[in-house]
Amino acid sequence: MTTVDVPHSSRSAVLRVSAVITETGDACSLVFDVPEELRERFAYKPGQFLTLRIPSERTGSVARCYSLASSPYTDDRPKVTVKRTVDGYASNWVCDNVRAGDELEVLPPSGIFTPKDLDEDLLLFAAGSGITPVMSILKSALARGSGRIVLVYANRDAESVIFAGELRELADKNPQRLVVVHWLETLQGLPSVDALAAVAAPYTDRRAFMCGPKAFMDRVHDALAQLEVPRDRTHAEIFNSLAGDPFADTAPVELSDEEQADAATVEVELDGEVHNLSWPRRQTLVDIMLSKGIDVPYSCQEGECGSCACTVLEGKVEMDNSEILDPEDIEAGYILGCQAHPVTDHLKIQF
């Protein structure tokens, strides 16, 4: 049995696995018990993810982000789904070793792959385990929204379809609101840009969400661009393996008087509150917000997960690492708070 004595950081918590569900031959779901005293910290939005600390004999641990497939509106407990990847240490360890009753160290929910309005009509794309956050959005929109939903779900074959039974039941119960389009590689080949555009053509007025392998999402992006769907109505979830340790507490940065005097000023809007802060140029936006006790969304602090994405409304920043952002995202003003440093003397930023 896996047990964790104490959390490794002030942000993380130890959660008990209440159930392990076999979804397919190479995917399983972990359902977590959340004690009453942690309910508020682990409240989540549809489409967000949890970061798990996975023990490793070689490095002590690795951190991995796994999307929540559960809905905060229909499920009593949070559930993440993990699919084995070739040579993927963490995913194979989870599927091979985790059992009900085990304990894992977990960071609070994070991520911005979530609809602002569940009443909107949605066009959802998923491939393989990319269905996980999309399922959370789909179930939440059906339960709390009023819009119509089309899901295009690509897999290798019928045996690879995660949540096949649940999707069937949801479509049967919501025939006027939910259409599920399965695309199986063994029958139809890989979905091309033109094929995806043909499927999406009747729904170009909808907000689109996509998750899956990069090649699949590139084709979806191209298909929607071909249909002239505005970029601000398309949302993609991207995960990279985390190289650093988000479970380690961040040490405070020592700044000289000169650095303090040269600091920029920033007005940050987060969850409806506005914070006016001094922003030393050597520190990142996440650094200064944490130093002021502000509950800023972040996970990896390495520009690899996108949890801290926000928008520059005024001013200019430079980023140490922005590879997960598309050029169109950067052009639209999106930045990563954990990688951003001020260039101009005054900035206005919105989460």
pLDDT in tens, 310-324: 999 999 999 999 888
This prediction has a pTM of 0.85
Does 74 fall in a domain? yes
Last residue of a domain, one of 187, 221, 237: 237
What does the pLDDT read at residue 202?
Answer: 97
Q: Which domain holds residue 209?
A: 122-237
Does 256 fall in a domain? no
What does the pLDDT read at residue 196?
Answer: 98
Q: Which residues of the chain have pLDDT under 50?
A: none
What does the pLDDT read at residue 243?
Answer: 64
What does the pLDDT read at residue 317?
Answer: 97
Q: Do 127 and 213 belong together in one domain? A: yes
Q: Do 84 and 187 belong together in one domain? A: no
What does the pLDDT read at residue 241?
Answer: 63
What does the pLDDT read at residue 329?
Answer: 81
Question: What gap in Å lies between CA 307 and CA 297, rounded to an integer?
Answer: 6
Does 116 fall in a domain? no
Number of domains in the chain: 3
Q: Do 292 and 333 belong together in one domain? A: yes
Does 337 fall in a domain? yes
Last residue of a domain, one of 78, 110, 142: 110
Does 276 fall in a domain? yes
